[in-house]
Structures are given as C-alpha cells and as structure tokens.
Structure 1
Amino acid sequence: MNALILIAEDESEIAEIIRAYLEREGFRTIHAANGQTALEFHRALRPDLVLLDVSMPCVDGWGVLAEIRRRDQTPVIMVTALDQDLDKLQALRIGADDYVVKPFNPVEVVARVKAVLRRSGTTDAAIIRIGQLEIDIDGHRASVMHGGQAENIGLTLTEFRLLVHMARNPTRVFTRGDLVDACLPGAEALDRTVDSHMSKLRRKLDQAGATGMPEGVRGVGYRLASHS
C-alpha cells in the first residue's frame, strides 16, 4: 500500500487542506485532532510519516515527538506557527526530521513529505492489493487473483484512473465531484457521467470475481471497499 501519513493537527481546516493535497499525490492519510489521539494512532496504525503540530491539546507536539522517538524512528515533520531558531533547534534536537512554518504552501509540505520519505527509504508501492484485487500502477494493469492465477481486467483509461484513485484510499467515500476533478479532467461534471463509468467498472470487476466493488454510498458518492 502507499505510504500512510498521520496528520496531527487540531485546526480542522488546515488538516483538511493538507489531507487533500497529500491524497491527490496518492498518499493515504489519517487525522488526529489532539496529541493523545496522535500517539494512539501512531501505536496502532504505524504510519510511515507524521506531520505534527506543536500546539496540540492533551499532549503538545514536543511531548508527542519525544514519545514517538522513545518508540521508534518514524519520520516526523513539525508543522507550527513558531518560527524562532530556538524552536527549530529544539525540534531537531528531540528528533524531528524536518520543520515547516505556518502559513505554508501545501505544495511545499507535500514536497517535504516526499523528500523525508525518500531519505528514510520509504517509497510508494507501485502495486496495490485489496483482497483478491491487484493493481499494477506502472504496468497499467488490474487483475483478480484466483488460486495464485491472475485474471486480467480490460479497463478503459478512465476506468483505470478511477480504480487507482479510489484504491489509494479504499475505505474513503469519494463524491462525484472528487472523482471528476481527479480522473476526468476537462469532462462535464455531471453525476450521470461518473455513474456511467462506475457502473461499467463495477460490472467488469464483478465478472472477474471482485464482487461488490466499488460500492455506492447513497447521497454521497462511491468508495472502493468497506475494508482495505
């Protein structure tokens, strides 16, 4: 699976902006609104990188960073409004891998995440597996495994784009607008256009044995699967 980024940020609007930019680049994300939750998610989910705000409720960012460093060497990027040199030095002394000061450009944050992951040896997988479904992104191929044998699925370019986009975060519910923006550039943002592509994709997956994918969520949109 693609790298999982834990966003520890108590300001929901900032967290949502970071999440949107990271997921657009194919990362999986999880959000913690306070330091205690961040530590619980870190222990349970073992993220590949943590974006960590300093001014967090319950346990502040310094405390979260120190505890993470007692546990392991998960890469951590501090995200904060504090721009004093002493704060930067403290972050690096405790064990942060990088430091981003608010207000920031989300594109820069994504670039920092990629750079730190490269330095740490963590890379995005070119193959995504969800149950029997296997997606080879570089090979532009999707297949369903049956007893060790792969049955290839003939998908159009748009169907493949939709499948890959949802597979990168399979339990997330995507609105039709999300899918148009990410996978149908230049297309009319019509619900029936998305529904038509998703219906054809579901039929092909069903025929290959990956039944029930993607799922329609009434009044919202689609998700690939209930469980990743």
Structure 2
Amino acid sequence: MKKPIIAVDVDDVLAKSAQGFADFSNAMWGHSLTADDFDEDWMKVWGTDLAETRRRAEIFHNDEVFSGFGHFPEAISVLVDLKQRYKLVVATSRRTVVEGVTRQWLDTHYGGIFDGVFFTGIYDVPGDTGERHRDRLTRTKNDLLLELKADYLIDDQLKHCFATGEHGVEAILFGNYPWSRHRELPAHVTRCRDWAEVEAYFAKRG
C-alpha cells in the first residue's frame, strides 16, 4: 500500500532558525534580538531600508551561518516512528543558494529520515543560482505540495498552512511562535505546539 506523504518545513520546525537569525544579527550588527522578535519582514526586524536589508540578507545567507543552526532533538524519534507509516519529505522556501548546506545539515541532524528534499525557490532572484532555477521563481509552497502529492504539511507559517486547504492537504501549524499566534484556524489546520503534540496528532490517525 502506498504510504501517505508528510511534507515537513525546515525553518523553526526542524531547525531553530529564528534563534540563529537573532544570534547572527546581534553578533554582526549589534542588535539585541531574541527568537521571538523574528519576522519574515527583515526590514522591520532590522530597522533598515531595502538596500541595506538586501546587503545584510546576502551576508546572512552563507554556509557557515546555516550550518550552525540548532535542531530539535525531540523530533528525531517522532519522525523515525512516522517513517514506518508515512513517506517523509522536506519542503522548504529557503533560497537555493543555501541548498547544499541545507542538505548537509539535514544529513547531519536527521540522516536517513527523509525520502527527498525540495525547494520552492520563491525567495530566489534571477541570477542568484543559475538558469535551472528560473522556472521556480513564482512557485509557491502550495504548488510544491501539489507536485509532491502531499497529504500533510508541517509548517510554522500561517500562510502556507492556510493555503493547503485549496488542494485538500491537512496542515499542522507547528510551534507557538509570535508570528502565528492569536489566529482562528480553519478546519484543515491543527496547531501542534511541539513535537510531542505532532506525535499525538498522527497517533490518532493510526
């Protein structure tokens, strides 16, 4: 029997990326940020104009920074158990410029768990990573889930979880982060604050 497919996000689901972003910003530019200050609008977080934000983003997107992100050790046993009943894949919106280090990081911390790692490329800009990625510049994570024929998504971002309802994909809104709090969730989205709750969610599904 074909296993149902669970697509798992990387940042702040498998990797402690917001903390890594805060730590790097504090060390590099003298901020006093915490993980709770994170927002996808980096101009707002840094208090910079567009040009400076782009300059900093290029500095931030390097292998040394991304390889140093922490992981969620408690996720490993949950994922290993889920792998017996589901096909697990990674679906990330990370820029493809960090594709290599992302794959290495996943091998280091979650080796042997995932059957594939897929990038949407939605944050890439033309010329960043070569011609082969240009067709992915406008693809959303929801588009990627449709291509993968995913049945479930585990993600920390409301926009990705909300969008999955268009194609009947069940979404697990991971974490209890400031950027995803205080929102009424649609029927196809379930909040799981940690990996123990993810385990309980799928245990109910047999």
**Same fold flag (TM > 0.5):** no
Q: Larger relative CO (CA 8 A, sep 6+): 1 or 2? A: 2
Q: Which has the higher strand share?
A: 1
TM-score (norm 1): 0.37
Radius of gyration: which is bigger? 1
